[in-house]
Structure 1
Amino acid sequence: MTHPYALVLIFDRKAGSLPPEAIDIARAMVKGARPVILSEGEAVEIPCGKPGTGAATPATIRAALAPHRVDALLVKQRGRRKAVLIADMDSTIVADETLDQLAALIGCGDAVKRITDATMNGTLDFAAALTERVALLRGHPAALLEDVWKTTRINEGAQTLVKTMRAHNARTALVSGGFTFFTSRVAEACGFDEHHGNVLGIEDGTLTGRLAAPILGPDGKKAHLTRLLTERGAQNSAALATGDGANDLPMLHHAGFGVAFHGKPKLRAEMPLQVNFTTLRSLLFAQGYRAADFVE
């Protein structure tokens, strides 16, 4: 293969058009070939060679393009289109943290958000922190879950990502440390094949402040990815995983494409593939899909 890699550049189409100077900078950094348009004014890919000693790294490329608010993903050309998609829910497929939203309605929002932020940055044990947060919900009406769902916003590109990959025979799964009350609804809205989350205790219409065991956390997410690959008879390289928090790291490291989507600092420090400025459409461009291929 003449150019075994591609540097994919994506710009937020709502903010205008991909700056030509950003393309020139990127092409010079990777000594790349003529850019190939994936979406006019939004995304291009620059075919290039395998990074060698002294070559620009993903981090240096991102730093050079950050002033232009351009996302840059350096990917292998071989096997770009993935057979499995596994995605986190809160702050990835949906815009907010549903547990934080629920806590805000109850009146303990600040306390819960502090724990959530520490957990997503990897400074607290996930299971212990989730148990502590859920305990604060005890005695409040379960009907508040419906109120949270009414205000939950699905991130731009989520439905397009899932539907396009399914149209090309990928298996898609939503996995969350949040609650199945929300994963079931988000999965249906986006078209995921399956969903997994934690079961929130409810008795007589009231939140018990407990979770049904076992708790789905970082290792559980990775286990679902492993199962999906086994069921497809596929290698790790055939998977795309995306998430924003420290509890997503095991599955992101396990996947061929592990993408930090508007990730917390710990993810940005560890993951070479990052989407920091644009939408979930970028995960399709990273796989070599053109906008004309998208299923909207």
Structure 2
Amino acid sequence: MPARFLVVLDADSTLLRNEVIELIADEAGRGAEVAAATEAAMRGEVDFATSLRQRVRALEGVPIAAFERVRARVEPTQGAAAFIAGVHERGGVVGVVSGGFHEVLDHVAPGLGVDRWRANRLVVDDGALTGSVDGEIVDAAAKAATLREWAASLEVPLSRTVAVGDGANDLRMMAAAGLGVAFNAKPTVRERADIVVAPVDLREILPLLPR
């Protein structure tokens, strides 16, 4: 049965409570430094791709074994699993496109029922992070392109897509979607979204879905 609509969510601070890069940075003792840089990027004060490369450099030397501790600290946002189940009950598909990392999302997304996801990958050498990102960075343009690509593959018109995000790098995919939802969002995102959901509970979005 064809999908009736598509919902695409950001991951960090949207699907998940955490900013995962900050959890990884904690393992390098640089959590506060990276958190400040993340906040500036989410407010749109600096270019996301440049900022991400700088923040990832701070992760150099973190052993891959540390990811077990990182994944144990990741928390889904309140209502995440129920929201995704509600989308499925209504005939929709859920995608997640993230400026975060497959190394965490690959473990979290399936358990929540996410249908498809895309994120960055970290370069590993000799069991530790090198401080580099593998390939092209998933930035604002990539997020918008991914929403369009998934909609086309599902034969869902853009008018029946919903994009949910919190940071400046979500604005382009929110603009591309039929409905752009600011969730747990920075002021610049709340100002430019089609609608703002204030309670940090993803179930609050269910009434907004296409009928």
Structure 1-normalised TM-score? Answer: 0.68
The 3-state SS of whatever aligns with 1:143 is helix
- In 2, the alpha carbon distance for the partners of 1:113 and 1:283 equals 27
Counterpart selection for 1:195 from 117, 120, 138: 117
Q: Is 1:184 matched with 2:75?
A: no
- In 2, the alpha carbon distance for the partners of 1:243 and 1:83 equals 17
Question: Structure 2 regions of 5+ residues with no counterpart?
Answer: none
Deviation at 1:91, TM superposition (A): 0.3
Counterpart selection for 2:175 from 226, 249, 253: 253
- In 2, the alpha carbon distance for the partners of 1:167 and 1:198 equals 30
- The answer for the alignment partner of 2:139 in structure 1 is 217
Q: Is 1:243 matched with 2:160?
A: no
Deviation at 1:278, TM superposition (A): 4.1
What pairs with 1:141-180 in structure 2 (closer than 5 Å)? 141-180=63-102
- In 1, the alpha carbon distance for the partners of 2:193 and 2:4 equals 18
In structure 2, what residue type is equivalent to 1:175? V
Structure showing greater radius of gyration is 1
Shift >6 Å, 4+ stretches: none
Check conservation: 2:79, 2:201, Cα contact below 8 A.
Answer: yes
- The answer for the alignment partner of 1:88 in structure 2 is 10
In structure 1, what residue type is equivalent to 2:92? A
The 3-state SS of whatever aligns with 2:15 is coil
- The answer for the alignment partner of 1:132 in structure 2 is 54
- In 1, the alpha carbon distance for the partners of 2:79 and 2:166 equals 16
- In 2, the alpha carbon distance for the partners of 1:85 and 1:240 equals 5
Q: Is 1:227 matched with 2:149?
A: yes
- Alignment RMSD, CA only? 1.6
Deviation at 1:169, TM superposition (A): 2.6
- The answer for the alignment partner of 1:107 in structure 2 is 29
Check conservation: 2:140, 2:170, Cα contact below 8 A.
Answer: yes
- In 1, the alpha carbon distance for the partners of 2:191 and 2:75 equals 27
- In 1, the alpha carbon distance for the partners of 2:161 and 2:168 equals 19
- In 1, the alpha carbon distance for the partners of 2:98 and 2:200 equals 22
> Which structure has the highest helix share of the two?
2
- In 1, the alpha carbon distance for the partners of 2:29 and 2:152 equals 44
- The answer for the alignment partner of 1:40 in structure 2 is none
- In 1, the alpha carbon distance for the partners of 2:114 and 2:28 equals 30
Structure 2-normalised TM-score? Answer: 0.94
Q: Which whole-Å deviations, capped at 9, do the CAs of 1:249-295 have from their partners, x for residues lacking one?
A: 00111111210101011101211301112410011122378xxxxxx
Deviation at 1:238, TM superposition (A): 0.4
Question: Structure 1 regions of 5+ residues with no counterpart?
Answer: 1-80, 290-296
Q: Is 1:283 matched with 2:205?
A: yes
Deviation at 1:243, TM superposition (A): 0.8
Check conservation: 1:201, 1:211, Cα contact below 8 A.
Answer: yes
The 3-state SS of whatever aligns with 1:281 is helix
